[in-house]
Amino acid sequence: MLMRVIFWGLLISFLGSLPMGTLNVTAMQISIQETISRALMFSCGVLLVEMIYVRLSLIAIDWIRKQVKWMRAMQWLTLAIVVALAVGSFMAAANSDPQAKNVILENNLNRFLLGMMMSAVNPVQIPFWFGWSTVLFTRGVLTSRVKVLNAYIIGVGLGTFISHLIFIYGGRIAAGSIHNSEAYLNWIIGGIFSATAVIHLIKILRGKNAFKKLEEDAG
């Protein structure tokens, strides 16, 4: 029973974290421009916050539904961070110094704390996990037992961590085989962050996002 719950948590988290996004691409960038250990620390910070959000989605559903306006404000903050990452990557790519970093990474902040901070201002994962948890409860995979919920959260953490490992080690291997890879990487990552920002902005302006459902439920 518990292994089945862990499996579902791992699978959903892994597939949800696999598409290129702000967090996994940042982890890849840290692994290439700094060290793998720092990238792993960043990922651990990310998954810790994600696990906390999942737990909140399971025990504080009514409260979450009432915080739609706050989460919408957080969406704009997330957009600002993604734009800063895109601009920082392009600036680093244009810099003549091959060791130039994204402006977001030009600091001495502990990478675990950086991961926690960037994950914390990404509230989209709250309705994502709210939706999936509801489905699993409906199908009988999840129950209200503490052991079952803990197993689910462990699976979620493992799924996120495994997906980040693919970006961390895959990016490192790819960068090692490309001449002047730092500059090319920054251009590519800047493009990814730019596309992410545009998509995120469109979702905010059109209102076609997961928060709309939460707002309806809260009403």
Tens-level pLDDT at each residue, the chain (219 residues): 789 999 999 999 998 888 777 788 889 888 888 889 999 999 999 999 999 888 877 776 545 555 556 666 666 766 777 787 778 777 777 765 555 556 567 778 899 999 998 888 776 677 677 778 777 887 888 887 889 989 999 999 999 999 999 999 988 887 766 655 566 777 777 787 788 778 777 777 776 555 555 455 444
Within a 13 Å sphere around the CA of 182, how many CA atoms are in the beta-carbon half? 14
d(CA 142, CA 149): 7
- The pLDDT score that the predictor gives to residue 218 is 45
- The pLDDT score that the predictor gives to residue 207 is 60
What are the two backbone dihedrals, phi and then psi, of residue 27, each rounded to the nearest 5 degrees? -60, -40
d(CA 84, CA 190): 10
Give the domain ranges of the chain. 2-218
- The pLDDT score that the predictor gives to residue 26 is 87
d(CA 84, CA 105): 11
* Closest by Cα among 44, 46, 61 to 142: 61
What are the two backbone dihedrals, phi and then psi, of residue 43, each rounded to the nearest 5 degrees? -65, -35
Q: Say what the pTM is.
A: 0.71
- The pLDDT score that the predictor gives to residue 177 is 67
Cα first-last separation, the chain? 36
- The pLDDT score that the predictor gives to residue 113 is 94
CB 6: neighbour CB atoms within 10 A?
Answer: 21
- The pLDDT score that the predictor gives to residue 36 is 93
d(CA 103, CA 122): 19
Q: H-helix or E-strand containing 55?
A: helix 36-59
Q: Note whether 51 and 157 are within 8 A (CB).
A: yes
What are the two backbone dihedrals, phi and then psi, of residue 180, each rounded to the nearest 5 degrees? 55, 40
How many angstroms separate the Cα of 177 from the Cα of each of 31, 180, 207? Answer: 15, 9, 42
Q: Note whether 69 and 138 are within 8 A (CB).
A: no
